[in-house]
Amino acid sequence: MIATEISGFPKFDSVDEPEIREALWDLARASHGMLYVAEDGTVSVLGSIDELQRRVVNLTGADVPPRRKGTFRIDEG
C-alpha cells in the first residue's frame, strides 16, 4: 500500500517495492523505536509525526521545527 502511494509521485516512479521496504527499515532503525515495521509489512508510528520527523532528520534532511522555542531570541514586543 505504501509502495503504491510512493510510486504515484513522478520523482519515485522508477522505485520498486524492495527499495521502498529497505527505506522503511532504514527509517525505522533511525527512529529509535518510534516507527515500527512488522514482518508482514504493517507500519506503525508509535508517537507524534513531529517527533518522528525530528528523529529521522539525519536521513531525510528535512527542516524540522524544534520541540519548543528557545529562551535566546530577540524580543518582538
Please, are residues 2 and 43 in contact by the beta-carbon 8 Å criterion?
A: yes
Would you state the pLDDT for residue 34?
A: 94
d(CA 55, CA 49): 10
**What are 5-20's pLDDT values in tens digits?**
988 899 988 999 999 9
Would you state the pLDDT for residue 7?
A: 85
Residue spans of the domains in the chain: they are 2-59
Burial annotation 5-20 (CB, 10 A radius, 16+ → b, else e) = ebeeeeeeeeeeeeeb
- Return the bridge partners of 3, or none: none
- The position carrying cell 518510534 is 34
**What are 25-38's pLDDT values in tens digits?**
999 999 999 999 99
Would you state the pLDDT for residue 70?
A: 67
